[in-house]
Chains A and B, each alone.
Chain A
Amino acid sequence: MDFMRLGTNNKGTISLFKRTKRAGFRCRLLVVIILGILLTDRAAGQQSDQTIDAETVKALLQRVQSLEAEVSALKAQAHDAGATTPAAAPETTAATHGEKPSVVDEPDSHSMAGMAETVAPRLRLRGYGDVGWNVNDRKGDTNSFALGQLNLFLTSQLTNKVSFLAETIIEADKGTNEFGIEPERLMLVYNASDWLNLSFGRYHTGIGYYNTAYHHSALMQTTLGRPFLFAFEDQGGILPVHNVGVSASGTISSKYGFHYIAEIGNGRSVRKDGSLVQNVTDENNGKAFNLAFFMRPSWLGGSQFGFSAYHDHLTSPGATKTKENIFSAHFVYQNTRFEFLNEAVLMRHSPDNSNLTVNIPGFYSQISRRWGNYRPYFRYEYVKVPSRDPLFADVGLLHGPRIGLRYDLNEFSAFKLEYNRSMRQGLNAVNFLGTQLSFAF
């Protein structure tokens, strides 16, 4: 009893029991917390794995179904290709079974080149179009719904290194409303290597940036229309935007992002009748040359700056024979959200048998930023053709701002709303308001 009295009354014993109890409780609490954290992580991982697995399986099943249809079509194509494929079949078969064909036993670059693939032409057709409505305050003009260009963009891979590209445009004339069709680009492209690509046919001249970045698709460009400086010839543009000949391009240094473009072609015509692009017959034996260099530095991804120099001798009937030199410089920065384009051009006309040289400067600067599907933009452009220019004096001074909003309905269509004001020397300024729905199909 003394013992029991001692056990119950002793402070040390009571404190011992309390401490032991507290220690045990803390221990159990610690274990529960840690186990809870570990189990939660495991459950979350299993759940996400299950979610990923289920989604992946579903996507794969859908993909398999679509591919089965494609394989059937390809088998039919391969059967038609006939004699060109049998030589490659033994090597293909060996690779499928995990054996390396003997030609690739030696680890050198020629081993891969020896296994040349034969590719049947694969034609792909993409389409672009636009429709819109516009109004301006120029006397005599009316507000109109307008069909834009219907662009049938064809590409075809003929062999591993040879491909074909064509951009065929169907559009109506502003004056007559009559439809016309024209292959604005038609090129056979040979990709020899990273430093040499050759295009034969009709191409967009490598003057500046805009002309080779944006072609005949309203969807691809941010704004409703092209800068006036790069307007197409048949829309009053003053630059030789198109050329027929040979264009070489390539990478001089991939480390520094240094590229070149070198072109030779028929050049342009300035005759009032007929096509302004010399598609079939050159008016003279001289050719137009263009040389451009540009850099896409990796330390400023999305940027490009460069310059170009173009020379031609224009000898169109009814026009003053004139030597033409065009110099351009550009700096652009583009990423998925932001765009800043700047280009300047100096065109120099020197009439034959004259000491006169006319300088025609022009530039534009465009900025835009995307917020969600909305992309507001602003551009200012300027062109000044002196009155003594032998070819384009009627253009005079043309400059003004352009402000608009582009809304991407989805990846393949966009709606644009734009206001611009065109100020011309000696003429009233023209205010223009236009909308455009551009799309791909």
Chain B
Amino acid sequence: MPSISWARNFPSRFEGTILTTTKKVRGFIACAIALLGLLERSQAATADVSHEIAVVVNGGNPVDGLSAPELRRILLGERRFWRGNVQIKLALPHAGSPERDRVLATLLGMNTSEFARHWRDKVFRGEAPDEPLSLPSAGSISRYTSETPGALTFIERKNLGRELKVLKLDGKAPGEPGYFLK
């Protein structure tokens, strides 16, 4: 028969055991939740990277990178030639596409309508022969870029093909920390 002192001590020992067990269980659950959260975050980060927008040019273009101000000048038609006097053939995803909206908003602070108006004015003033080309799909963008010397266009990273040459922006390639075109 257990002694009364043991019985008196039993609750504290039992309490200690329960508390310890509860702490362990809590700790286990907290770790599981933290791991789950990390998994979600890494999946989201992967999704963000795949939605980055790459600046791509024809494979024969010797240029490896552009600065953001240079790219803006090209988008605005202020610069129309690569070195070697090869004309820049600017092509954008079709109007209404999220990629086009993001490129224009990020680089120029414009929406599609404002960008279209800028180029209409440019053509009207005789400063450009025509507006930039709009292409309907990632496939047509890839095909146009690989077939057109001087082509410069934008394509989501997840749609990149091996035949396309990707430019660095401000020294950063898509996927690298600090790449801002997304």
In-complex Cβ contact of B59 among A100, A187, A212, A251 (8 A): A100
Q: What total count of A-B pairs have CB within 8 Å?
A: 162
A56-B86 in contact given A12-B12, A12-B15 (Cβ < 8 Å): no
Most buried by B among A10, A95, A116: A95
Once the chains bind, are B125 and A212 in contact (CB under 8 Å)?
A: yes
Q: Return chain A residues, CB-CB under 8 Å to B158.
A: none
In the complex, B45 has a CB within 8 A of chain A: no
CA–CA, A163 and B122, complex, Å: 14
- Mask, A202-229, CB within 8 Å of B = 1, is 0100000000110101001000000000
In-complex Cβ contact of A27 among B8, B19, B25, B123 (8 A): B25
- Minimal Cβ-Cβ distance residue in B for A59: B96
Q: How many residues from B make CB contacts under 8 Å with A?
A: 66
- Mask, B9-21, CB within 8 Å of A = 1, is 0111011001100
B66 vs chain A, min Cβ distance (A): 12
CA–CA, A194 and B150, complex, Å: 14
Once the chains bind, are A193 and B22 in contact (CB under 8 Å)?
A: no
In-complex Cβ contact of B11 among A12, A31, A113, A192 (8 A): A12
Once the chains bind, are A191 and B87 in contact (CB under 8 Å)?
A: yes
In-complex Cβ contact of A112 among B61, B114, B123, B162 (8 A): B61
Once the chains bind, are A107 and B126 in contact (CB under 8 Å)?
A: no
Once the chains bind, are B7 and A2 in contact (CB under 8 Å)?
A: yes
A23-B26 in contact given A59-B94, A298-B69 (Cβ < 8 Å): yes
- Mask, B138-149, CB within 8 Å of A = 1, is 000001001111
Most buried by B among A160, A194, A212, A296: A194
In the complex, A180 has a CB within 8 A of chain B: no
In the complex, B58 has a CB within 8 A of chain A: yes
Classify chain A: how many residues form its interface, as a range: 35 or more
CA–CA, A31 and B62, complex, Å: 55
In-complex Cβ contact of A31 among B33, B69, B129 (8 A): B33
A189-B129 in contact given A7-B11, A96-B143, A112-B58 (Cβ < 8 Å): yes
Once the chains bind, are B163 and A98 in contact (CB under 8 Å)?
A: yes
- Mask, B40-71, CB within 8 Å of A = 1, is 10001001000000000011111000000110
Q: Return chain B residues, CB-CB under 8 Å to A67.
A: 136
In the complex, A356 has a CB within 8 A of chain B: no
In the complex, A76 has a CB within 8 A of chain B: no
Once the chains bind, are A109 and B22 in contact (CB under 8 Å)?
A: no
Once the chains bind, are A112 and B86 in contact (CB under 8 Å)?
A: yes
Once the chains bind, are B19 and A112 in contact (CB under 8 Å)?
A: no
Q: Return chain A residues, CB-CB under 8 Å to B36.
A: 34-35, 38
CA–CA, A370 and B178, complex, Å: 35
CA–CA, A107 and B82, complex, Å: 14
In the complex, A141 has a CB within 8 A of chain B: no
Q: Return chain A residues, CB-CB under 8 Å to B79.
A: 194, 251, 254
In the complex, B110 has a CB within 8 A of chain A: yes
8 closest A-B pairs by CB? A109-B84, A104-B60, A163-B129, A63-B136, A16-B15, A112-B149, A13-B11, A115-B149
Using a CB–CB cutoff of 8 Å, the interface residues on chain B facing chain A are: 2, 4, 7-8, 10-12, 14-15, 18-19, 22, 25-26, 29-30, 33, 36-37, 40, 44, 47, 58-62, 69-70, 73, 78-87, 94, 96-98, 110, 113-114, 116-117, 121, 123-126, 129-130, 136-137, 143, 146-150, 162-163
9 more CB-based (< 8 A) A-B contacts, given A27-B29, A157-B129: A35-B36, A41-B44, A42-B40, A63-B137, A92-B147, A98-B146, A115-B149, A157-B130, A189-B126
